[in-house]
């Protein structure tokens, strides 16, 4: 009697590579990648030739000096200040309109000079940037509400441009200093 030999059946793996390739494409297309974003800063446009302002024409009263040391402490206009007070201090400086002779002539001439130490924590740097930006945003919102009856970001581009001309965001960042640098 002859025994019938049964062979094991093989699985056809020819389409497995196709399936793996399709799954790979599916996961590549549907996966989102974390993208690091920086600080949203729009550089000002190049000034036209007749509008170039000489550095000697910038008066010291129109510069609001903000220094951040390596211990994450603020020194604003030569006096210590807490970060939570920075927004109100910047708003008062920008929107002075010549009332206080110690502060800026008007919002168009107001410049905020920010200088950090190389040892400044990134978190502190971002907090200072946020407070300064919030000061400009609040001033622009209040001007938009009084002039156009709507919030700044709800205005059409032409009206936003008008408000930006009244309150141009001028934040000058000096190169960070090393802890051992002397002036």
- Residue 75 tokens read as 């020194």
pTM value > 0.75: no
β-bridge mates for residue 114, sequence order: 66, 173
Q: Are 94 and 154 in contact (CB under 8 A)?
A: no
Q: Are 45 and 39 in contact (CB under 8 A)?
A: no
Phi and psi, residue 57, nearest 5°: -85, -10
136-140: Cβ within 8 A, 24+ apart:
136/90, 136/94, 136/167, 136/169, 138/87, 138/91, 139/91, 139/94, 139/95, 139/107, 139/167, 140/164, 140/166, 140/167
Q: Which residues contact 23 (CB under 8 A, 6 or more apart)?
A: none
- Distance (Å, whole) CA 135 – CA 103: 15
- Residue 33 tokens read as 């990648």
Phi and psi, residue 172, nearest 5°: -105, 125
- Distance (Å, whole) CA 96 – CA 109: 11
- Distance (Å, whole) CA 161 – CA 14: 63
Specify the pLDDT at position 97: 78
β-bridge mates for residue 75, sequence order: 67, 80
Tell me the pLDDT tens digit for each residue of 9-18: 777 777 888 8
Taking residue 16's Cβ as centre, other Cβ atoms within 10 Å add up to: 10
- Distance (Å, whole) CA 23 – CA 116: 49
Specify the pLDDT at position 25: 93
Tell me the pLDDT tens digit for each residue of 71-120: 999 999 989 999 999 999 999 999 887 788 878 888 888 889 899 888 99
Average pLDDT value for residue range 156-172: 91
């Amino acid at each position: 009697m002859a025994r019938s030999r049964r062979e094991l059946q093989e699985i056809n793996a020819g389409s497995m590579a196709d399936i793996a390739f399709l799954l790979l494409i599916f996961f590549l297309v549907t996966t989102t990648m974390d993208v690091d974003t920086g600080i949203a800063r729009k550089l000002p446009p190049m000034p036209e030739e007749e509008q170039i302002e000489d550095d000697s024409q910038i008066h010291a009263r129109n510069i609001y000096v903000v220094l951040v040391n390596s211990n994450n402490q603020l020194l604003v206009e030569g006096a210590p200040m807490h970060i939570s007070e920075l927004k109100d201090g910047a708003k008062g400086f920008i929107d002075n309109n010549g009332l206080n002779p110690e502060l800026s002539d008007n919002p168009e001439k107001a410049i905020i000079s920010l200088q950090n130490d190389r040892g400044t924590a990134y978190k502190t740097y971002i907090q200072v940037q946020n407070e300064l930006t919030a000061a400009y945003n609040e001033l622009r919102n209040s001007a938009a509400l009084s002039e156009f009856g709507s919030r700044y970001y709800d205005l059409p581009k032409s009206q936003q441009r008008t408000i930006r001309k009244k309150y141009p965001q001028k934040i000058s960042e000096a190169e960070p200093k090393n802890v051992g640098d002397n002036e």
